[in-house]
Structure 1
């Protein structure tokens, strides 16, 4: 891989005095974190990951690792979109690893990822869960910048998500996309729709959770959103043309999963309102 910026961020969360606190952090390169906020009654820590350069260039590597001690609860998000620029210097890499202890809950809810035309991106997320830990994570990806008419014609994306519970895989997905020769326009691929989203929930759930999600979304989800109850995870999908639509649908599904699975009301990070 060609040379680029290599940034690392490692965070340790644990309960203390009725709240989940960021006990320790380690970082090098252009990755940082603000102090934790505690807007919820159960003491969940809301943390914003910062990447001061504002975008990921060819050859850059970002490694983010989060450790949640038993009973710790954290909501991890970003203040803005993650941008992968046109690559002229090798593959841009982002790796996220999350380890959740017994009774812990982690919600990995970043803002959207935007792949500029010509980007060459590799994005991987690995989650390990204790027996009774819970996880919600989403990714919303824009292939190109449709708002200004930019299409994803020559770029590449490789994305992988792995979730393990007590060392056993419960979800594994790998996606490889290429804009070459208009392949993404094919009906068997993305049918020309530039916004792709996946949300995975691994945790307790009521039997009718998927029906409750569908009912809460109503006609707004028609033709662009789906939800599936698998053996050990619930998976939501979005494939459409507007990031604002995908985010709104995922946000409502997240509210239902929180209330029906985690048994607590949804409290959106304040940074989303700015």
Structure 2
């Protein structure tokens, strides 16, 4: 296997004081993590991942691993957008693996992925949840600058996600955006929009009432085209299309805030980047 361009592994445990703290941390190459902060009284730790290299290039490989101990709580975000430039040497890859023990909670909210002209990016995310654990993720795909000014000049963006709850496969999602194979602005693709949000949430109690509440939240964003559906288990998936990263990020934050209020009583997340 190729040597990773950047690797990051975090192990988080709930301390005796109720705060979640990093008990194991490793990084190498072009990935780092800032010292966590605890912005509210819940004990949740907020970690910010940084890439000093500034962007992903052809044949790059990034690896992110997270291990959440029993009843721990963390939010992972990034310092800035993930920028994927032209990749003549082959696709840039990122492999992510999140493992949560009973009662653990993880929210993964990176800044948007920007795919520039002739970019080819493949991401694999594996999530393993124990009983009573919760996971939330929201990722935005944005078309980057191109010489012609056209928005869809990247070759491919693939987000492949597998999620297991108590060893039972709950979600197998293979999202492939390949603009060269069809008109991405047409019906069934982006329907005239340019930006995409893919969101998934799993946790105890997520069901029909939660679905109704999230659909109510979505109705407050009439400029976006969005839908929400339940998984065959305690979870849901949201897909949304828009014309800017900001609008989709606001929707993700609103959904995240509603789920946090219902599940933990926390207020909206604080994504300060320091």
TM-score (norm 2): 0.91
SS in structure 2 at match of 1:188: coil
Identify, as 1 or 2, the structure richer in helix: 1
Q: What is the match of residue 11 of structure 1?
A: 10
Report the alpha carbon displacement of residue 217 of structure 1 after superposing the two structures with TM.
Answer: 4.1
CA contact (8 A) 2:99 2:128 kept: yes
Residues 88-127 of structure 1: pairs in structure 2 closer than 5 A: 88-127=88-127
1:189: how far off? 2.2
**Structure 2: gaps of 5 or more residues:** none
Moved more, 242-251 or 179-188: 179-188
Contact map agreement 2:63 2:94 (CA 8 A) in 1: yes
Matched with 1:31 is 31
- For residue 135 of structure 1, what is the aligned residue in structure 2? 135
Which of 219, 239, 243 aligns to 1:237? It is 239
How far did residue 64 of structure 1 move? 0.4
- C-alpha change, 1:37 and 1:219, in structure 2 (3 Å) is closer
257, 260, 266: which one aligns with 1:258? 260
Distance 1:267 1:154, change over 3 A: closer
Q: Which runs of 5+ in 1 are unaligned?
A: none
Change in 2 beyond 3 A, CA 1:39/1:145: same
Relative to structure 2, which stretch is displaced further, 62-71 or 231-240? Answer: 231-240
Q: For 1:123-143, what per-residue CA distance to the aligned partner results, in whole angstroms no more than 9, with x for missing partners?
A: 111110001100001111113
TM-score, with structure 1 as normaliser: 0.91
Q: CA RMSD in A?
A: 2.1
Query: What is the rounded CA distance, in whole Å, between the counterparts of 1:29 and 1:140 in structure 2?
Result: 25
State how far apart, in whole Å, the 2-side matches of 1:181 and 1:158 are: 14
Q: Stretches of 4+ moved more than 6 A in 1?
A: none
Q: Quote the residue 1:246 is aligned against.
A: 248
What are the equivalent positions in structure 2 for 1:202-217 lying under 5 Å apart?
202-204=202-204, 205=206, 207-217=208-218
Name the counterpart of 1:179. Answer: 179
- 1:147-170 superposed Cα distances (whole Å, 9 cap, x missing partner): x94422351122201110111111
Report the alpha carbon displacement of residue 78 of structure 1 after superposing the two structures with TM. Answer: 0.5
